[in-house]
Chains A and B, each alone.
Chain A
Amino acid sequence: MQPEHQGVAVTVLVSVGRHPLTGRARRADQDARGLELALGLEERLPGSRINLLHAGPRCEESESALRGYLGMGAGTGLEHLTLLEQPEGADAIPALAEHLASATPQLVITGARAERGEGSGLLPYALAEHLGWPLVNGLAAVEKVEHGVATLLQALPRGQRRRLQVRLPAIVSVDGAAPAPRQSAFGPARRAQLEVTPLAAERDHELAEWAMAPARKRPKRLKIIKSASARDRFKAAAAKAEGGSGQVLEGVSSEQGADAILKLLREEGVLPR
């Protein structure tokens, strides 16, 4: 058997998104990009299987949003989604981790952060820790999967790319750098199956204590360019945001690393001096 003909078992974690203007439930943009990545992989590696996985409550709104992902499966083998049913406010991480540990996919794809709820972006990290799998964030493409090793392209700021190899199973997260999702078709979306598994809920106590408020745009630090020449101002505007003040620490002990971080935080005024 040709190595490139080995299919991979992919699980895409999908959440219920939220439209930024109207707040209506929809397929979340990053998760949809994750599924797009998986569908592209399936086209190139015949025999791959894609599973969609969601943990959360089941209601009309969330169901129509989740079906939005299934509608992307027109003409592919994607026909069902596993829904780990939990009440509102339950912690999704243990449920997902338990399911993934028993389903043993080779690759888990997830969006970098959810569009509603906590949206902290910590889920991929927490899952990776639970499962003990490697994690790659900001994925742009999966180039190939051979002999259980995936070659990945990671997106860095300003269009830069880094090629990485990772032994499967692994978790990867995608953000806006991944390919844009295809259209979701109404017919396949509503015909597809939701496989519902009710779960004993583990309440997310921390979340329950939080107060939720709509996010506001974070203030941006103004760059004041004193130069009078338009060319200089243009160059400054087009230049990389992070100046040369970054520092790469290599071969240092964890204490030295922590010190450096603390020092920076104090300099930036994040921590009191």
Chain B
Amino acid sequence: MLETLLPILIFAALGVAVVGAWRRVRLWRQGRPSAVPLLKGLAALPRRYLVDLHHVVGRDKVISNTHVATAGGFVAAAVLMILVHGLDLGASEGWGGVLGWLLLAASACMFMGSLFVARRRRHPPARLSKGPWMRLPKSLMAFSLGVFLVTLPTVGILPAGFGSWVLALALAAVVGWGLAEMVVGMTWGGPMKHAFAGALHLAFHRRAERFGEGNRSTGLKALDLENEAASLGVETPADFTWNQLLGFDACVQCGRCEAVCPAFAAGQPLNPKKLIQDMVVGLAGGSDAGYAGSPYPGKPVGEHHGSPHGPIVGRGGKALVDAETLWSCTTCRACVEECPMMIEHVDAIVDMRRFLTLERGETPNKAPEVLDNLIATDNPGGFAPGARMHWAADLNLPLMADLQQVDVLLWLGDGAFDMRNQRTLRALVKVLRAAKVDFAVLGNEERDSGDVARRLGDEATFQSLARRNIATLAKYHFQHILTCDPHSFHVLGNEYGELGGDYRVYHHSTYIAELHDAGRLTFAPWKGGSVTYHDPCYLGRYNGEYEAPRRVLEALGITLNEMQRSGFRSRCCGGGGGAPITDIPGERRIPDMRMNDVKESGAGLVAVGCPQCTAMLEGVVDASAEVRDIAELVADALVAAPSEETAARHRPRAVEVA
């Protein structure tokens, strides 16, 4: 009886799954074209899955092992099941018996995994979605147990015709349930959809360059402004590229992104997981009522709906997503860093912002003023461009225009207009002079890098600033660019390339570390209190520089009290992505939360490496810690480098301690 039922069930499930796959592919193909090498992508899939994806999943060992057991067991069991029960090879001589035993092992392994899945689902953390996901452990068990049992007769543990037909029917029903969830659900929607969409997403990822050891791809992709008739940015779900849509569909609703999102934690109306799920709702059409995870703070689920060709942000009314959700994001990339499915939330958010800014002119709050300033004065504050060097009137900074050729071009950034950042800049100049670095500045020829304009969705202003900066830089000869602003660092280093400007850019922490390694800087020992270090998003997650600032601090003689969230898990200060400008209200402020992290570390001083972080963290009232830039700490600790002969006569000396 089972021998007849099982092949029918298996092939019926496979057939229905194929139809589902075809329908799902059609949904993705509503998106705009995107050129990716299909075969190369498929060939790279195993490596991307086994290495890159598991690198992220492996941050949580229990889940990682659970997933290996369950998914590995399932894939093996599914293939073997088709061979053994579908094609009836289990009964054949020779290999048949071996296949049966392997199938038993695979389904047992999967069953073990499913027990762990079940345990996790008993008291699921808030970040996990409930709803259909709650039945997943049962379905996994049904599949693995069912397959295990029906295979027992095959290997001869039980007699072939054991039990009654009632038992056989019951077993077939259990296997059928398993097949429905695991095979049909994979393409028709259901928790297992992540496996199908996820595999293809990995193969056809829009940022193939991010895979591989130590690789990253964080620069936003340029918007084509050549075609004058085209609508700019993403208005409807179908305006995303097809592989972005595919990526959204791959989300497993694990909520890791939600757990690290600073905007969500601050009670602003953004939850990256819900945003991705809303895009899935949009691409298939319907309402978000079926979503079973945490909502956007302050926005009940079930009031939004969308369709592939309908607007994402309604004009005046509700559609799929409210504009303030998109404007809450600080582009800190914490979500992207944590996402096991390699989904690119920030790309999607900026794509949608581009439409709101470039097509609707609906950038909220102070943002239109900032953009107008950038257009008219090349800096966000609307200061006279000729006043850019006023802070350095007494420093006699060498100008590129005079020297034409230097080793290091010091990029000042718009912090040159900010009194607080001017202190950092002065400190940096002092350090460079102490190390006898051959450097010069662009002076009034420098313009805003375009970072804020781009992240506010104003790609036109970004490209205009970028092209003019590139033309200015092309006039001069220098080895590399040095800046104390991670945003300029990122934009110059990672985003100008697409527009024809390729530079070797250093963040000042990296540069100071190298100067120190080369013995060009000598520091007095640290006499202050305990210190912690805040990783700026645009230095850390965007550029992978976690080490150099710590090396500099170590060289200063500082032992760091690391915050719980540091390194790649660092929590944003709230200053990126134009968030302080769009200023979407929440229940708390992001910088307050970060200063609280500092307080919990017990440090009395927080070292930073970004003008934006400095401004945000210093803006916290009643803060328990002082905020200093690394350049300031270094400048304070400078002592004249021992010259050759004094070094030879070096002997211990008394040190002043108070």
The chain A residues found within 8 Å of chain B, CB to CB, are: 19, 21-22, 24, 26, 71-72, 74-75, 182-188, 190-191
Contact = CB atoms under 8 A, between A and B. Distances in A.
A19 B376 contact: yes
Contacts of B52: none
B384 A21 contact: yes
Given A75-B315, A188-B359, 15 more contacts: A19-B376, A21-B384, A21-B385, A22-B376, A22-B385, A74-B360, A183-B363, A183-B368, A184-B361, A186-B357, A186-B358, A186-B359, A187-B232, A187-B359, A190-B228
B362 interface: yes
A19 B371 CA distance: 14
B359 A185 contact: yes
Contacts of B363: 183
B361 to A, nearest CB: 3
A190 B231 CA distance: 11
A191 B229 contact: yes
Given A186-B460, A190-B228, A191-B229, A21 B382 contact: yes
Contacts of B357: 183, 185-186
Contacts of A183: 357, 361-363, 368, 371
A227 to B, nearest CB: 36
Nearest to A27: B372
A185 B375 CA distance: 13
B592 interface: no
Contact of A24 (B358, B376, B460): B376
B64 interface: no
A71 B372 CA distance: 13
B522 interface: no
Contacts of A21: 376-377, 382-385
Contact of A19 (B229, B315, B368, B377): B377
Given A21-B376, A22-B384, A185 B360 contact: yes
Contacts of B315: 75
B458 interface: yes
A186 B362 CA distance: 11
Contact of A186 (B229, B376, B383, B458): B458
Nearest to A64: B375
Contact of A191 (B228, B368, B372): B228
A187 B231 contact: yes
A26 B373 CA distance: 11
Contacts of B358: 185-187
A191 B358 CA distance: 12
Interface string B259-287: 00000000000000000000000000000
Contacts of B359: 74, 185-188
Interface string B376-411: 110000111100000000000000000000000000
A72 B361 contact: yes
Nearest to B384: A21
B221 to A, nearest CB: 18
Contacts of A186: 232, 357-359, 458, 460
Given A190-B228, A191-B228, A191-B229, A182 B361 contact: yes
12 contacts: A22-B377, A22-B384, A24-B375, A182-B368, A183-B357, A183-B361, A183-B368, A185-B357, A185-B359, A185-B360, A185-B361, A186-B357
Contacts of A75: 315, 360
Contacts of A74: 359-362
The 4 closest A-B pairs by CB, nearest first: A185-B361, A183-B368, A183-B361, A19-B376
Nearest to B382: A21
Given A183-B368, A186-B460, A187-B232, A26 B361 contact: no
A131 B332 CA distance: 59
A80 B168 CA distance: 75
Nearest to B356: A185
A186 B354 CA distance: 10
A24 B382 CA distance: 13
Interface in B343-365: 357-363
Contacts of A71: 361
A119 B54 CA distance: 67
A183 B385 CA distance: 23
Contacts of B385: 21-22
Contacts of A188: 359, 361
Contacts of A22: 376-377, 384-385
Nearest to A182: B361
Residue with the greatest number of chain B CB neighbours at <10 A, chosen from A22, A24, A183, A190? A183
Contacts of A184: 361
A219 B372 CA distance: 30
A115 B460 CA distance: 25
A234 to B, nearest CB: 30
Contacts of B371: 183
Residue with the greatest number of chain B CB neighbours at <10 A, chosen from A19, A26, A186? A186
A1 B521 CA distance: 83
A256 B371 CA distance: 54
